[in-house]
Amino acid sequence: MNHLEAVLTSLNYVVLLRNQDKTFTLLNPCANWFSELYYDQTETKFDANLIDLCLAFPFIENFIIDADSVWCKPKSKESISSGVWTESNAEGEEIQLTAIASNNNGCNLLIIENRTEHFKVEQDMMQKARDIALLNEKLVTELNHRQRNLQSDIAQLFDENASMKIIGDAIKSEPAAVIIFNSKSKVLNINNEFKKLFQIEDIASSQPLALLERWCGEAEPIYPEMNRVLTAGSYWEGEFSTRTIREQKHFVRLNIAPIKNERQQVTHFVCIIHDISNLRLDEKHDSTNYTGFEYTTQLPNRRYFWRKIQERDKASRKNKTTYSVLYIDLDYFKRINDKFGFEQGDNVLKLIGSRISRCVKQKDFVSHLGGDEFTIIAFGAAEQLKPMSDRLRRSISEPVLIDETSVSITASIGIATIEDSISLVEVVKHSDLAMSSAKELGRNQCRIYTEQLDLTFSLRLQREHDIHDAIKNDDFHLLYQPKTNVNASDEFNVEALVRWEHNTEGTIYPNDFIPIAEDSGQIIPLGRWVLEQACNDAKTLLEKGINIRMAVNVSTKQLKHPDFFNHVVKALEKSGLPSEHLELEITESGLLADIDSILDVLHQIRQLGVTVALDDFGTGFSSLNYLRQMPVDFIKIDKEFVDELPANNQSMLITTSLIELAHSLNLKVIAEGVETLKQLKCLTNVNCDYIQGYYFYKPLPFKQLELAYKTEMDEKRIVKSSP
């Protein structure tokens, strides 16, 4: 063997030509490692003109199938790579190989390279890079926790009505950059670190920069949901590149917390910024996505998601395949952090991330965008992915054990299909909008994006604005529906029902505005008005000698408001209505959604002498143990059971059982939605205490209540005097 042959046979690669019979011919002098490995794998004599790669290397068989799609094109110059795979020689030593299939104008070549010498060095380098990236991610996560704690401290100052000077003194020496805007994006305060980071001398010099608007523009390419989140008055956090007044580039972590007044209107935005440029690896050397994983869940992060969606978009255009984005947001996850702390919250996120990963196909791509948001880039159109979404929701909702407490977490999911006619940013916006729509449906739902959702979202924003104006312009009014006591009693029970007289749409019923008022926070001022008006009207009737008990519906958001108890006290004091003449109705589902925080408030209200009714009873998941600890006096059987009486035996059985259960706990029962004599007889036969519905009364204006009372008392006297 001459010197040239010795060099050629020691090369780390072999070049093979694809034959018509799907075997291969060796084109360069055979490298020793290849012929030896081929013999070890096949135990046949090596023939350079008849090489059966699929027999020698089973791993490469699937790759050859993919390579055929390149080789079959006569004038192509395409190539594809197999990635690294491992084989073992006769001594058991591992050999790392890669293959590249190329088509050079019809010449079908396969190059196999021995990467063993470089592989360990590369792996060590990659591992070190991953370790650095994970450490950086950990530091960013800890930074985020500190930012949230600082946000809480500042929010507390606002709750205490501290002046902007006091707030300024509190944030002055914070190591994080802090800037506070009013609801119109005007800068009210900045601290020293903010001045230093953004090279700004004072507040006045920051005003022309329109910083909040600029940040939204800079962040939108990777955070398309940012504007929607801030418009909704919700908390937002993220990482993006921004520039100082002197055009110096910084990579920052920003979180924005809205401050709301007692009417739940946003009055300020508190922004906390950390410069994390030094925590990022140089992107020029980041070709292997070392920094592409989120520390908490070890799933691909938001930046990796955007790289992957661009890849999938290219592939779908080229191969005429369809992909969709599933946007997953955990419901009420903030309660986990609030109750158990951020560390336990991170553990739950890690568990949920692994559950999501188990529900997808091998080629689907799961990422953790941050916080409680995940995405999946999945093969198929949106409609085809509904079964996957059902599987995801079932898996996510399996109970989680936290500090010996079993907790169930649900998720809202939105799906949008990647289409040629719209940008990827719009696709993600669409999936986010569909997810928001799923939350509006009651959470733990899945919605597929349609153009109608865009229209619905615009109409919803308009409706929020209209509700705000209607409260200010006194466009709401109350109707009252009596609840008839089947016993001969002189008490007169009524429920206050709010209606909205819209200037162009006429009367709007609660189902069309209460959910929007709750989500936007306007239920607080609206609920306060309802409570005060109902107490005033009840006092008027009481002064006329009517033994009134006024029931007012209260939402979960009202009950959780820190001033709700004071609202009740003030409404009673202002009207002069004795507390025993007021009843608050709360929904069973709302109570169970956050029972721990609501029970204390209900106990305080009961101590005032106010009675409490549990509405829609039987539609939720109350157990006897739950019912025993609930401070309630009445339960209301939902209309869906009453509608089917007496024909539906199951509804009859449920209704009877609910009444017996309530009576065993010394609770009174109200049946709502009673419209027929058959329903009435059926309910009185099983000892229902109160009847509410159109059979006796439709909702009445206040001025008709006195007559309704007199009529009911006359009828009861007639019944009582009958033999």
Same structural domain, 547 and 585: yes
Residue 135 falls inside a structural domain:
no
Six token digits for residue 35: 């012929």
Residue 192 in this model has a pLDDT that exceeds 70: yes
d(C-alpha 145, C-alpha 176), whole Å: 13
Same structural domain, 257 and 315: no
Give the range of the structural domain holding residue 246, as residue numbers without chain letter.
Answer: 162-280
Residue 144 falls inside a structural domain:
no
Report helix, strand and coil shares of the chain as percent, to nearest 5. Answer: 50, 25, 30
SS3 385: helix
CA distances from 314 to 366, 399, 461, 530 (A): 18, 39, 35, 56
Instruction: Express each pLDDT in 468-506 by its tens digit.
Output: 889 989 999 999 999 998 876 788 999 999 999 998 899
Same structural domain, 391 and 523: no
How does residue 376 score in pLDDT terms, banded at 50, 70 and 90? very high
Same structural domain, 524 and 669: yes
Residue 671: which residues within 8 A CB-CB, separation 6 or more?
A: 636, 637, 642, 655, 679, 683, 688, 690, 691, 692, 693
Same structural domain, 576 and 712: yes
How does residue 535 score in pLDDT terms, banded at 50, 70 and 90? very high
CA 184 and chain centroid, separation:
27
Highest-confidence segment of 329-343, 522-536, 650-664: 522-536
Residue 291 falls inside a structural domain:
no
- 646 preceded by a cis bond (ω within 30 of 0): yes
Q: What is the mean pLDDT of residues 139-146?
A: 68
Per the CB < 8 A criterion, the answer to whether 327 and 431 are in contact is: yes
Instruction: Express each pLDDT in 152-188 by its tens digit.
Output: 788 888 877 888 888 888 888 888 899 999 888 888 8
Alpha helices in 371-522 (DSSP H): 386-396, 424-440, 451-473, 514-520
- Strands 79-88 vs 582-587: parallel, antiparallel or unpaired: unpaired
Same structural domain, 711 and 592: yes
How does residue 621 score in pLDDT terms, banded at 50, 70 and 90? very low
Which amino acid, residue 161? N
When computed from its CA atoms, the radius of gyration of the chain, rounded to whole angstroms, is 34
Instruction: Express each pLDDT in 625-653 by its tens digit.
Output: 667 778 899 999 888 888 888 888 888 88
Per the CB < 8 A criterion, the answer to whether 376 and 365 are in contact is: yes
Q: What is the mean pLDDT of residues 612-623?
A: 69
Six token digits for residue 230: 């801030």
How does residue 287 score in pLDDT terms, banded at 50, 70 and 90? very low
Per the CB < 8 A criterion, the answer to whether 53 and 46 are in contact is: no
Instruction: Give the alpha-carbon dihedral of 261, 262, 263, 264, to 10 degrees.
Output: 60
Closest CA to 515 of 587, 565, 579, 578: 587
Query: Domain holding 8: CATH number?
Result: 3.30.450
Q: What are phi and psi of 98, to 5 degrees?
A: -135, 155
Same structural domain, 276 and 209: yes
> Residue 282 has what pLDDT?
45
> Residue 624 has what pLDDT?
59
Instruction: Express each pLDDT in 217-259 by its tens digit.
Output: 888 888 888 888 888 788 888 888 998 877 788 888 898 989 8
Which amino acid, residue 612? V
Residue 285 falls inside a structural domain:
no
Q: Is the pTM of this model over 0.75?
A: no
d(C-alpha 608, C-alpha 232), whole Å: 35
Query: Domain holding 477: CATH number?
Result: 3.20.20.450
d(C-alpha 721, C-alpha 723), whole Å: 6
> Residue 393 has what pLDDT?
93
CA atoms within 13 A on the CB side of 31: 14
d(C-alpha 175, C-alpha 152), whole Å: 16
Same structural domain, 266 and 348: no
> Residue 284 has what pLDDT?
42
Six token digits for residue 451: 């153009």
Q: What is the mean pLDDT of the chain?
A: 84
> Residue 209 has what pLDDT?
67
Query: Domain holding 409: CATH number?
Result: 3.30.70.270
d(C-alpha 21, C-alpha 608), whole Å: 91
Of 99, 121, 143, which residue constitutes the final position of a domain?
121
Six token digits for residue 102: 């190329």
Of 449, 478, 499, which residue constitutes the final position of a domain?
449
Residue 139 falls inside a structural domain:
no
Residue 152 falls inside a structural domain:
no
Burial 203-238 (b: 16+ CB within 10 A, else e): beebeeeebbeebbebbeebbbbbbebbebbeebbb
Question: Which regions of 567-676 does DSSP assign to beta strands (E)?
Answer: 582-587, 611-617, 634-637, 668-672
Residue 145 falls inside a structural domain:
no
> Residue 123 has what pLDDT?
62
- Strands 690-692 vs 668-672: parallel, antiparallel or unpaired: parallel
Same structural domain, 557 and 705: yes
Same structural domain, 519 and 591: yes
Residue 3 in this model has a pLDDT that exceeds 50: no
Residue 12 falls inside a structural domain:
yes
**Torsional sign, CA 622, 624, 625, 630:** positive
Number of domains in the chain: 4
Instruction: Express each pLDDT in 402-454 by its tens digit.
Output: 888 888 899 999 999 988 778 888 899 899 999 988 988 888 999 999 988 88
Same structural domain, 172 and 263: yes
CA geometry: angle 470, 474, 478, nearest 5 deg? 100
Same structural domain, 242 and 116: no
Of 449, 478, 506, which residue constitutes the final position of a domain?
449
CA atoms within 13 A on the CB side of 338: 8
**Torsional sign, CA 550, 551, 554, 560:** positive
Query: Domain holding 253: CATH number?
Result: 3.30.450.20
